[in-house]
Amino acid sequence: MAITAMDHFTVTTDRLSQSIAFYTALGLQVGPRPDFSVGGAWLYAGDRAILHLVEAASERMPAVRRGAIDHIAFRGDGLIAVSDWLEARGIGRTLLRTPRPFTQWQLFFLDPNGAEVEIDFDADETPPEDWKSFGPRGG
């Protein structure tokens, strides 16, 4: 018996439409979802539902939006385009270069629910010219 792959992450939200718009702009697509008794959406990368959004009333959301899971991470391409998209919306971001031997780019930011998102980009992607001036991680 062994884990063979990550299936999906679930984010609880009182901002469902904002969350759907946010993640679809980053390249995920809304797709089929079982007829659960609570609102929500399943967002797909290709044929795999990798992000499940579950709708909750505002009064049920915790004051601090981070829990035991520190962040969710995706693979991506188009580093400059994603960074520019975040900047145009006033979303703070941090860009890091991982040390050798991996040497990939890691872009961190917060989604509309306060969940930290990481998108990893190949080492050969060109970063924005001002990437070293980006704010604190996720902020």
71-139 shares the fold of 1-57: yes
Is it the case that residue 82 has pLDDT exceeding 80? yes
Strands 48-55 and 9-13: parallel
Superfamily per CATH, domain 71-139:
2,3-Dihydroxybiphenyl 1,2-Dioxygenase, domain 1 (3.10.180.10)
Domain extents in the chain: 1-57, 71-139
pLDDT of residue 101: 80
Residue 49 to residues 11, 20, 68, 125, Cα–Cα distance (Å): 13, 13, 22, 26
Is it the case that residue 119 has pLDDT exceeding 60? yes
Q: How far apart are CA 43 and CA 50, in angstroms?
A: 6
What mean pLDDT comes out for the span 67-77? 81
pTM to 2 decimals?
0.79
Which of 61-65, 119-123, 126-130 shows the lowest mean pLDDT across its residues? 61-65
Question: How confident is the model over 40-61, as pLDDT tens digits?
Answer: 999 999 999 999 998 887 777 6
Q: What would the CATH number be for the domain defined by 1-57?
A: 3.10.180.10
